[in-house]
Amino acid sequence: MVDSFFKYLEFEKRYSLHTLTSYRTDLDQFQLFLENSATPVALEKAEHQHIRSWLIHLVQEGVSARSVNRKIASLRSFYKYAMRQGRIDNDPSSKVKMLKAGKNLPVFAKEAALTSTLDQIIYQKGFKGLRDQLVMELLYATGIRLSELINLKESDIDDHQGQIKVLGKRNKQRIIPTPRSLTPLINNYQREKKEEFPNNYSQYLIVNNKGEKSYPMMVYRIVNKALGTISSLEKQSPHILRHTCATHLLNKGAELNAVKELLGHSSLAATQVYTHNSTERLKEIFNQSHPKA
């Protein structure tokens, strides 16, 4: 039952490997809780009180509300699938309510600090320097995810239209405009890449020092090194540049729906978290400029 559930998530729902791993961890933890309870019960035989007891146990153990809610979502998905398959008659998770969780506002770099940093970074000459610069400029200019950057192919770049084609979550494709200033950088990088790896030219745009497809830790190191000089940032990760791109666009007056499409969010709610920062910016301008402030 569990194996067929994960095949369904992987091949029909097209969930990412990260999500599949999280779901499996959640189900394994709940199953272990059921096995160690006073009256052991199988996963498919669990009832509402079993789930409730587990959630209370998690809260008492100090698990955050956000993590508990993810586990609730995992159980809901599993039991809904079991219902559709006719394996259970009642969904024990149907009456379980999500916990109230405080919103974690996205961390971002201030515009002046980031643009100054990007302008002042001295990259080494040749392929490696151009690659590192392109990683930084692409992430900030387009707001793409780390996985999307890694999977970006040469054929996804359209210099004439000034845009890139990105394959996002659940294989959803979107077109993202790129600033014209990126075109010379991309062209120079591709030229150096061909000279560096004439015999094994990869179809992927960003490659490692051996000419092979890049990987998350490599990109993390590039971004961490570049953002390390911005003292106001507690984190230096590729996702910070995604948050920063969205925040700066909204601060400059971009429409919320346009930013939603740019980021590849499935719902507007996921994008609205960035409006808090825009509101704070408006308050700052008001306090500095309004005669009655």
| Beta-carbon count within 10 A of 131 CB | 23
Instruction: Kindly name the residue from 48, 128, 174, 239 that is annotated as catalytic.
Output: 239
Instruction: Kindly name the residue from 80, 153, 165, 169 that is annotated as catalytic.
Output: 169
CB contact at 8 A, 271 and 265: yes
| Known active-site residue 57 | no
| Known active-site residue 239 | yes
**Residues paired with residue 207 on neighbouring β-strands, in sequence order:** 213
| Known active-site residue 265 | yes
Instruction: Kindly name the residue from 50, 131, 193, 242 that is annotated as catalytic.
Output: 242
The C-alpha atoms of residue 205 and residue 134 are separated, in whole angstroms, by 10
CB contact at 8 A, 148 and 175: no
| Known active-site residue 242 | yes
| Known active-site residue 274 | yes
Instruction: Kindly name the residue from 52, 265, 276, 281 that is annotated as catalytic.
Output: 265
The C-alpha atoms of residue 251 and residue 81 are separated, in whole angstroms, by 42
| Known active-site residue 169 | yes
The C-alpha atoms of residue 121 and residue 111 are separated, in whole angstroms, by 16
The C-alpha atoms of residue 293 and residue 88 are separated, in whole angstroms, by 62
Instruction: Kindly name the residue from 145, 243, 248, 260 that is annotated as catalytic.
Output: 145
Catalytic site residues? 145, 169, 239, 242, 265, 274
